[in-house]
Every structure is written in C-alpha cells, then in structure tokens.
Amino acid sequence: MKLKIALAALMLTTANLYAQDQQPTLPIPERVNVKGGELTIQPITHATLVLNYQNKNIYVDPTGGAEAFTGLGTPHVILVTDIHGDHFDKKTIAAINKSDAVLVVPQAVADSLPATINKKKLVVLSNGAKTTQAGVTIHAVPMYNMPDAENAKFHPKGRGNGYILEIGGKRVYISGDTADTPDMRAMKNIDLAFVCMNLPYTMDVNGAASGVLAFKPKVVYPYHYRGQDVEAFKKLVNDGDKSIEVKLLQWYPGK
C-alpha cells in the first residue's frame, strides 16, 4: 500500500512538472518609470502586447488564445487596430474577456464583433476621435498604406486606427498597420513608439526609419516586423539621430 501511494505521488508530481513545462514562457517585459508608478510593457507576439499601469491592463490586438496571456491579469481595456487576423481575433477576445473589458475599436471591427459582446462596453473611434478609459486617454490616429502604393488595398485610410495613449505623463504611440505616412511623420511629443515594418503589408525598414526620424520619439520599439532586419532599422535610426533610443524586445519567441 505504501508503495502504491508513493508511486501515485511520484506520478502526480511528474504530471505537475510536465504541465508547468508546457506553459508558454512570456518574453521579458520592459518597465518604464512614469508618473504615478511604473508602466510595464509585455510583448506577446508580432502585433500583440499588454500594457500595465496602476494595476490596470490594456491588451493591444490580442491574439493567440487565452494561453498566450498565462500569468497576466484580465484586461480592463482591449484595443483593436484593424480587421486582419493578426490584430483582430474574435476567439481570443472571447477567451480573455472574462471581466467584461471596455473594447476600443474602429467601426470596421465593431461591425464584425459577435453579438455576445456587451455593447455598453464598446467604444467605437474614428481617426481623430478620443476617449478616456481606466484613467488613460486614447487618441485614434490614422494608419494606412499610401493610396498610390502597390499595397494600398491592404490598409485604406480611415478603416483602421493607430493609437496614442496618454498614460503616466507619457505619450505612447501604437502604429498598427501603417506606412510612412504624412500623418505619422507629423506627430509631436511621442515618448514611446511601437512602429511596424512588415512587407508587403505595411512598410520596409527604410520607410519605418525615415518616419521615426521625422516624428522623433524618445524611444522606439520595432514590432510587427516578421521577416525584417530590425538591426538594420536600429542602425538607420541611430545614424540619423543618436538621441532616439531604439529598444529591441522579443516579439517572436523561440527565434
């Protein structure tokens, strides 16, 4: 009997260890000192990230299912930039939205949300509009491909939103899918910027670096860059303006 109990305990311990090994490991988070505390930036993958400030979680373009967010708190606000699957994943939103978070989305996303979404928690923003949720002011800004470009069809102007968040005294820009547009180049006073570069859908490294050198964020985090050379991006930015800090986070675990 004692042997059976010991074997059962060993099997249970082994199973628990195996289960722990199967849990996804989150990339190392970035921590930024801001007014009122600390802003934690948690990369998830590609275009997906979580921002945490004063115990409030802002999920940006959540994808990958609930398991991608293991160990993180439930969202208080969910931002979605556009309709494409690497930004707008209905199944993931349903899986993580257990506490009825506020969804901030463009109209094209709102039109595709399932009927189960609490419409009282839905905020639809067009380019240029803003809202304040969980103590954070959220500005919707244009994100698009240039109308005369070969990839114009992927992201027409006005359909999706980039976002500028005012959080802890910082202005945080999330580009979504955009090219090096006049709207992006004209932005002012950006402290932290998440900038995409992903051909053929958005822009290449050269376009991203050119845009960043125009609007001059204090810190830029390349993201949404599958297949692009972010070291080359960093060099272009640093050669053009050494005052802009380029930080490379882990967006593609295992690579």
**Tens-digit pLDDT profile for residues 221-247:** 999 999 999 999 999 999 999 999 999
> Phi and psi (nearest 5°) for 183?
-65, -45
Cβ–Cβ under 8 Å, residues 115 and 195: no
**Tens-digit pLDDT profile for residues 91-109:** 999 999 888 899 999 999 9
**Tens-digit pLDDT profile for residues 22-56:** 556 899 999 999 999 999 999 999 999 999 999 99
Higher pLDDT, 147 or 203: 203
CATH 3.60.15.10 fits 27-246, yes or no: yes
The three-class DSSP label of residue 38 is strand
Cβ neighbour number for residue 248 with a 10 Å cutoff: 13
Cβ–Cβ under 8 Å, residues 121 and 103: yes
The secondary structure element, H or E, covering residue 43 is strand 37-45
Checking phi first, is residue 86 left (phi over 0); if not, alpha (psi -120 to 50) or beta?
A: alpha
User: How high is the mean pLDDT of the chain?
Assistant: 91
**Tens-digit pLDDT profile for residues 133-149:** 999 999 999 999 998 88
Q: Percent of the chain, pLDDT > 70?
A: 90
| Per-residue pLDDT at 15 | 41
Domain boundaries, the chain: 27-246
pTM beyond 0.85: yes
The number of CA neighbours under 13 Å toward the Cβ of 89 is 20
